[in-house]
Amino acid sequence: MHLKVGEVFEPLWAPATYKGAYGGRGSGKSHNFAQMAVVSCLETLGTRGLCVREVQKDLKDSAKRLIEDKIEAMGLASKFASTRPEIRTPGGGLISFIGMQDHTAESVMSYEGLDWVWVEQAETLSARSLQALRPTLRKDMSELWFSWNPRRKSDPVDHFFRGEHPMDGAVLGRANWSDNPFFPAKLEKDRRHDLEFSPSYRHVWEGDYATVVEGTYFANQLAAARTEGRITELAYDPILERRAYWDLGYNDATTIWIAQFKGQRVYVMDYIEGSGQELGYYVNELRRRGHGDAFCFIPHDGAHHHVGKSVDEHLKEAGFRTKVVPNQGRGAAMLRVEAGRRVFPRIWFNTPACDAGVEALGAYHERLDEKRSIGLGPEHDWASDASDSFLMMCQLYEEPRATIKPAEREIYRAGDDAGTAWLAG
């Protein structure tokens, strides 16, 4: 039997308990694991496999069709029997297909004697599901496979394979379209189009984290910032004032952006986020990072009394200068979004200090009424808290104005060469 295996996938064919392949579209990750599934059923009669997704509303959402296509392409249709819920393999084996959200840890354990488990689109796999799957590997030489296109560093599968303490002995490979010797011409046409026009090209095709999500409020603005080199390592100016822009979380996250203003540029230098922490935590964090003299801008609810004193009063007692930003009422959310789009071309981000906040800006999107196809304003999710404090900064931004002396004003009005030279200076 002649197998078409890309060089990048060859290490995954050697025995290992945990195997992972991540990368962008068109890399052949799913095709490789589907082929591994078929070959395993031929090498070991009675093989039992399990194909998993976090959500599987219907079998058409599963890898079943892909495995059936591989069986057909390899000329093995006579050795397998495909029924609606499963594929029967040589020697009385079985390949089953499930969605983890429909199962508990106990029900997953009922799939006894598994030789392998393949988790497709593993970027959506929850920590609960990953924890439930690992005990299914009870046979000697059984394996757990993962294929995914990375979204966030904090996703459980990324943490498992690429986190600070990755699983020892796991085999991991990165594969993109350029690693696929069988990359089809149709996909190449799509890739070239996205390379030119899509701000999420790096995520979709090159397997980078999803720093920009298609259709979000600031997708184009963030793509431009990366292209223009405005997301880079920056140094603090010791002369410039540090300003801290807060969003206060009582049942969600508290977020703070630290910025310095110089001319028409906004240098966003640091980002702080926490959940369930007392105010003292953020005060200490500001001091620890060198922002103990920052001018704090807090939303209108910072003036409300919660436990004895307001956030505004507590910050003043801690030695910070403060300004409470009034509530702007109905329609304020979209006014902030427009302010963000207007100011964004002037903004520079300090990396890696601001990476988590930039990631949130790249995911900030509109909530949609799908039945009526209309927007309902910003979605309140994990990305909205960071975005709210960032947009407060944008809305408060005032463009610097040059102070023109009377004599200079007359030169400017005259429009002569001297006025042009003054403006250039």
> Is the separation of the CB atoms in 253 and 360 below 8 Å?
no
Whether 115 is covered by a domain: the verdict is yes
Query: Based on the domain organization, do 51 and 127 belong to the same domain?
Result: yes
Classify 127 as helix, strand or coil: helix
Cβ-based neighbours of 416, under 8 Å, separated by 6 or more: none
pLDDT, residue 332, reads 79
pLDDT, residue 420, reads 38
Query: Based on the domain organization, do 170 and 281 belong to the same domain?
Result: no
The Cα–Cα gap between 255 and 247 comes to 5
pLDDT, residue 197, reads 84
Query: Based on the domain organization, do 20 and 138 belong to the same domain?
Result: yes
Whether 148 is covered by a domain: the verdict is yes
Tokens coding 23: 């990368």
pLDDT, residue 309, reads 87
Query: Based on the domain organization, do 247 and 330 belong to the same domain?
Result: yes
The Cα–Cα gap between 43 and 107 comes to 28
pLDDT, residue 306, reads 62
Whether 206 is covered by a domain: the verdict is no
Query: Based on the domain organization, do 364 and 258 belong to the same domain?
Result: yes
The Cα–Cα gap between 388 and 337 comes to 9
Query: Based on the domain organization, do 175 and 239 belong to the same domain?
Result: no
Query: Based on the domain organization, do 51 and 135 belong to the same domain?
Result: yes
pLDDT, residue 417, reads 45
Helix runs in 228-331, H state only: 279-288, 311-317
The Cα–Cα gap between 230 and 241 comes to 20
Taking alpha carbons only, the member of 148, 138, 172, 122 closest to residue 20 is 172
Whether 87 is covered by a domain: the verdict is yes
Taking alpha carbons only, the member of 375, 333, 6 closest to residue 215 is 375
Whether 351 is covered by a domain: the verdict is yes
Whether 342 is covered by a domain: the verdict is yes
pLDDT, residue 261, reads 95
pLDDT, residue 223, reads 87
Whether 312 is covered by a domain: the verdict is yes
Query: Based on the domain organization, do 21 and 145 belong to the same domain?
Result: yes
Query: Based on the domain organization, do 69 and 155 belong to the same domain?
Result: yes
Taking alpha carbons only, the member of 24, 3, 25, 21 closest to residue 11 is 21
Q: How many domains does the chain have?
A: 2
Q: Is the pTM of this model over 0.75?
A: no
Taking alpha carbons only, the member of 260, 265, 272 closest to residue 353 is 272
DSSP E strands: which ranges in 138-224? 143-148, 171-174
Whether 20 is covered by a domain: the verdict is yes
Taking alpha carbons only, the member of 407, 390, 308, 333 closest to residue 356 is 390
Give pLDDT < 50 ranges for the chain. 403-405, 408-425
Supply the CATH number for residue 127's domain. 3.40.50.300
The Cα–Cα gap between 263 and 234 comes to 16
Which residue range is the domain that position 31 belongs to?
A: 7-179
DSSP E strands: which ranges in 28-169? 48-53, 81-82, 86-89, 93-99, 116-119, 143-148
Query: Based on the domain organization, do 164 and 273 belong to the same domain?
Result: no
Query: Based on the domain organization, do 163 and 253 belong to the same domain?
Result: no
